Amino acid sequence: MPELPEVETVRLTITPLVINRRINGVHAPFPGVVHGLSPAAFAEAVVGQTLVRSWRRGKFLGFTTDQGAAVLFHLRMTGRLLVCKPEMPIDAHTRLYLSLQDDAQELELRFIDMRKFGRVYYLPNGNMNDLPTLARMGPEPLDPSFTPERLGNALLGSKAPIKAALLDQNRLAGLGNIYADEALYRAGIHPQRPAGSLDDVELTKLHEAIQYVLRQGIVYGGTTIRSYVNGRGQTGQFQGLLRAYGRAGEPCDRCGAPMTTERVGGRSSCFCVHCQK
DNA sequence: ATAGCGCCCTGGTGGC
DNA sequence: TGCCACCAGGGCGCTA
């Protein structure tokens, strides 16, 4: 499930292969993949533009073009981005692909998504605020401006379980089920705690834990549970270092007691009842 | 405004 | 062995 570290890893692996390439064509075997406009309209808008810069906001991966527009991808659950030669056989789950040309050769950027949750967005002016989801999105947890105080502000007054609040992209960008469980485990905080009830010491611990697990996730190239691969088709390596997510019934790394699983905020959550208060 | 829940989607898994 | 209910969950839209 691509979360911030997986999207960042995809961005890092894709970027050198697609930057300074001109979009020559658009094909959308699954027309619904393009958000808010038809594939034909998307193609008409984007063909002829050159990708000049990549960026990430939460779980969105964006490419800015030479005309100041932006093409965004959201991988949701099972989305992948793959850069390959045109002659490579098309995967059955390919939802959209862009033909990219430079002086030397043509490549394709393919968006593959088994479950069709993923979307492609086009922003004519490249302005993130034109997409309401991005305009509302909370702070970037790895930005230097993200402090324990800002985390506290994001959670202030919330009676929702801290786990649900961490998954709420309007409070904090980029966390999904895996890294939320990992961060709460590392911080020793029970997922059912009301988000607004954390004291300053806990906020400091949770802030450190969020940054730590996200940075580790990036260092290890993301977490592959089922389908995630980076832009070169390689799996991540962080799954071997998970201490909470998916470890129900296994012994806690700290105290040895079996890890508990429970649904919190509609999501399965793994935690240690002894170590997380 | 906030919190909770169903929905979209498909493939893998586990139970009978 | 075969079938099928169930589960995974990000973001959105609806409800109370």
Catalytic residue among A11, A56, A57, A59: A59
Q: CA(A158)–C1'(B13) in Å?
A: 37
Q: What is the pTM of this model?
A: 0.95
**Residues 204-263 of chain A: which lie with beta carbon within 7 Å of strand C?**
none
- Say what percent of chain A tops pLDDT 70: 100
User: What are the Cα distances from residue A259, in Å, to A107, A129, A163, A222, A251?
Assistant: 46, 41, 16, 23, 6
pLDDT at residue A202, as a whole number: 96
**pLDDT confidence tier of residue A139, bands split at 50, 70 and 90:** very high
Active site residue A11: no
CA distance A228 to A225: 7
**pLDDT one-digit tens code per residue, A197-228:** 999 999 999 999 999 999 999 999 888 877 67
Q: Is the pLDDT of residue A146 over 90?
A: yes
Q: Is A5 a catalytic residue?
A: no
Q: What is the mean pLDDT of residues A24-51?
A: 94
Say whether pLDDT at A233 is over 90.
no
> Does the structure show a pLDDT above 80 at A1?
no
Establish whether A59 is a catalytic residue. yes
